[in-house]
């Protein structure tokens, strides 16, 4: 059965302790399987880098609006919820030292009794990399090395690692993750390097396409499976998950092509097609700027679409 999650209000005017807690608890009560938080450490006042995750190609959160720390939010929500999975979409690996973030992630996994999903990526905003004094051009190599080290941190008792960016000699790392064999690593990113990274390191490929058809997504997932085979892995070890922006309209319009916008009936039928190509988990980002209206759509989708989608299985 394909699972469905929703994005949390971790940024913008709606971001607050109350709304964050209510959003997660309400998602759990409505039957969603997961809640998702985006990652941002700083927002420059001037951003020239093209934003790949909106139709307008510009970053959607103004710099004078709040943007909560993702890991802190998930740790907070671990104590406010009981069963819903807690996901990052996605943590930018080069911004943080792997010994630090892996300790926090493992703690969240322990305190939530195994509910963390760790979406990871290499980042996109050059200005933010500059502010963090992180190497933008080497972000892929840095991320690969972090994920290589992570395997040892979560599996071994005596850890020694010598790479280009990180070096440790005979350290301990305890506790290990609550989930066995580890916290799920879902590799974000849409291009060939991300597909290769997912095939080599991931438990799932976890792209966020603003516009994509189920057929196109399946074709790119074939690349991930091929990369997993080239890495000596069982191709079935890397599953397919994704994030999708969604806009619900009051009535049906033109047929949905590559962007998820339409009536709830149209959106439901389109999501079934994503299930048909093997997507095991979909994070939905409801694209309504005004938070009360966004919450109304999340509620309506849960009532009118989730039961049908959860009962559906691919032919």
- Looking at residue 52, its pLDDT comes to 84
- Tell me the domain boundaries of the chain: 3-311
Asked whether 203 and 179 are in contact (CB, 8 A), the reply is no
- Looking at residue 55, its pLDDT comes to 76
Which residues pair with residue 284 across a beta bridge?
6, 244
88 phi/psi in degrees, rounded to 5: -105, 135
Tokens found for residue 21? 């807690």
Asked whether 218 and 195 are in contact (CB, 8 A), the reply is no
- Looking at residue 107, its pLDDT comes to 98
Q: For the chain, what's the residue count?
A: 315
pLDDT tens across the length of the chain (315 residues): 999 999 999 999 999 999 999 999 999 999 999 999 999 999 999 999 988 887 777 788 889 999 999 999 999 999 999 999 999 999 999 999 999 999 999 999 999 999 999 999 999 999 999 999 999 999 999 999 999 999 999 999 999 999 999 999 999 999 999 999 999 999 999 999 999 999 999 999 999 999 999 999 999 999 999 999 999 999 999 999 999 999 999 988 888 999 999 999 999 999 999 999 999 999 999 999 899 999 999 999 999 999 999 999 887
Domain 3-311: give its CATH architecture.
Alpha-Beta Barrel (3.20)
- Looking at residue 120, its pLDDT comes to 98
DSSP 28-47: HHHT-SEEEE---S---S--
- Looking at residue 59, its pLDDT comes to 83
Strand pairing class (167-171; 159-162): antiparallel
- Looking at residue 60, its pLDDT comes to 80
- Looking at residue 123, its pLDDT comes to 96
The DSSP letter of residue 236 is G
- Looking at residue 207, its pLDDT comes to 97
Sole residue written with tokens 């690349």:
223
């Amino acid at each position: 059965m394909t699972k469905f999650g929703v994005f949390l209000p971790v940024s913008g005017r709606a971001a607050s302790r109350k709304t964050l807690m209510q959003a997660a608890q309400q998602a759990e009560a409505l039957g969603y399987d997961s809640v998702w938080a985006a990652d941002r450490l700083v927002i420059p006042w001037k951003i020239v880098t093209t934003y790949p995750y909106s139709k307008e190609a510009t970053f959607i959160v103004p710099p004078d609006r709040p943007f909560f720390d993702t890991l802190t939010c998930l740790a907070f929500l671990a104590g406010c919820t009981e069963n819903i999975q807690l996901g990052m979409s996605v943590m930018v690996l080069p911004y943080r030292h792997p010994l630090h973030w892996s300790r926090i992630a493992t703690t969240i996994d322990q305190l939530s009794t195994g509910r963390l999903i760790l979406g990871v990526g290499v980042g996109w905003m050059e200005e933010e990399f500059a502010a963090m004094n992180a190497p933008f051009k080497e972000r892929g190599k840095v991320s690969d090395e972090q994920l290589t080290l992570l395997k040892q941190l979560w599996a071994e008792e005596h850890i020694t690692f010598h790479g280009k960016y990180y070096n440790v000699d005979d350290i301990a790392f305890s506790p290990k993750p609550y989930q066995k064999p580890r916290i799920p690593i879902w590799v974000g990113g849409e291009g060939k390097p991300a597909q290769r990274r997912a095939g080599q390191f991931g438990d799932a490929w976890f792209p966020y396409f603003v516009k994509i058809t189920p057929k196109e997504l399946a074709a790119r997932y074939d690349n991930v499976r091929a990369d997993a085979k080239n890495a000596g892995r069982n191709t079935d070890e890397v599953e397919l998950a994704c994030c999708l922006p969604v806009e619900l309209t009051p009535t049906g319009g033109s047929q949905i092509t590559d962007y998820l916008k339409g009536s709830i009936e149209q959106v439901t039928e389109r999501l079934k097609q994503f299930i048909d190509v093997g997507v095991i988990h979909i994070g939905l980002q409801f694209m309504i700027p005004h938070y009360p209206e966004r919450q109304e759509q999340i509620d309506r989708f849960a009532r009118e679409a989730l039961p049908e989608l959860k009962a559906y299985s691919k032919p």
